[in-house]
Amino acid sequence: MRNLKKLSILIIALLLIPTLIVVAQNMKKESKSSIVQNEVKVAQLAVKENQQEVQQSYTEADVLEMGFQKVSETSDLILYLNRTVINIVIYDKHADYYWFGYNPDKVKSTYTDRVKHWMSSGITIDYFDSDTLNVANLPITHTNAGSKFEYKLLANGFDVEIDLTKLGISFKLEVRIELDELTFNIPYQSIVEVPYKTAAMKFPKEYKLRSIYVFPYLGSENYEINGYAMIPDGSGALIRYTNTAYNTAYIKPIYGKDDGIQNTPSSQIHLKAEEEISMPVYGINHGYKQAAFISEISSGFGSSEIHSYPYKYNNIEMNTTFFVYNTRSISLIKLSGGEISSIPIINKDPYPNDYTVKYSFLNGDEADYSGMAKRYRENLELSKLEDVEMDMHLEILGLDKKPSLLGEQTVRLTTFKEAIDIVTDLYQDVKGISITYRSFNKGGIYGINPYKFSLSGSLGGAKDFNKLVQEIDNMDDVSLALYTSPIELYHTNVFTKTLKTVTLEPFQSSLKSSRQQSGSLLSITGLAKRILSNNKKYDKYDIDKLTIGYLGKESFSYQLDSKTYYRETMIHQVIDEVEKLGAYDLGLYKPASYLYNYVESYYDAPYQANSYAYITDSIPFISLVLSGSMKLYTPNLNYSSNLDLMKLKMIEYNLRPSFIVTSKEGYELRNTHHEYLLSTEYNVWESSIKDMYNEVSVLENINGQYMESHRYIDDQVAEVIYETHMIYVNYSDVDYVVNGKLVPAFGYLVTEVIK
Mean pLDDT of all residues in 454-477 = 96
Q: How confident is the model at residue 446 (pLDDT cuts 50, 70, 90)?
A: confident
pLDDT at residue 24 above 50? Answer: no
Q: Express each pLDDT in 240-269 by its tens digit.
A: 999 999 999 999 999 999 999 976 655 555
Q: How confident is the model at residue 271 (pLDDT cuts 50, 70, 90)?
A: low
Mean pLDDT of all residues in 187-210 = 90
* pLDDT of amino acid 493: 77
In whole angstroms, what is the distance from residue 669 CA to residue 650 CA?
Answer: 29
Choose between 131 and 356: higher pLDDT.
356
The closest alpha carbon to 145, from 61, 68, 64, 212, belongs to 212
* pLDDT of amino acid 640: 86
Amino acid at 11: I
pLDDT at residue 313 above 50? Answer: yes
Mean pLDDT of all residues in 376-392 = 92
In whole angstroms, what is the distance from residue 514 CA to residue 402 CA?
Answer: 10
What pTM did the predictor assign?
0.91
Q: Express each pLDDT in 59-93 by its tens digit.
A: 999 999 999 999 999 999 999 999 999 999 999 99
In whole angstroms, what is the distance from residue 442 CA to residue 307 CA?
Answer: 46
**Mean pLDDT, rounded, of the chain:** 90
pLDDT at residue 2 above 60? Answer: no
Do 396 and 383 contact (CB within 8 A), yes or no?
no
Q: Express each pLDDT in 668-727 by its tens digit.
A: 999 999 999 989 999 999 999 999 999 999 999 999 999 999 999 999 999 999 999 999
* pLDDT of amino acid 39: 44
Beta bridge partners of 294: 283, 360
* pLDDT of amino acid 506: 87
* pLDDT of amino acid 424: 97
Mean pLDDT of all residues in 309-328 = 96
The tally of CA atoms less than 13 A away on the side-chain side of residue 6 is 3
- Considering just the CA atoms, what is the radius of gyration of the chain in Å? 29
Q: How confident is the model at residue 443 (pLDDT cuts 50, 70, 90)?
A: confident
pLDDT at residue 275 above 60? Answer: yes
Choose between 610 and 511: higher pLDDT.
610
pLDDT at residue 149 above 80? Answer: yes
Fold designation for 392-752: TIM Barrel (3.20.20)
* pLDDT of amino acid 266: 55
Mean pLDDT of all residues in 558-578 = 95
Q: How confident is the model at residue 480 (pLDDT cuts 50, 70, 90)?
A: very high
Furthest CA-CA distance within the chain: 108
Percent of the chain with pLDDT over 70: 92
The tally of CA atoms less than 13 A away on the side-chain side of residue 613 is 10
* pLDDT of amino acid 21: 36
Instruction: Specify the range with the lowest mean pLDDT, choosing from 333-347, 382-396, 604-618, 700-714.
Output: 333-347
Beta bridge partners of 618: 237
Query: For 60-262+272-380, CATH number?
Result: 2.70.98
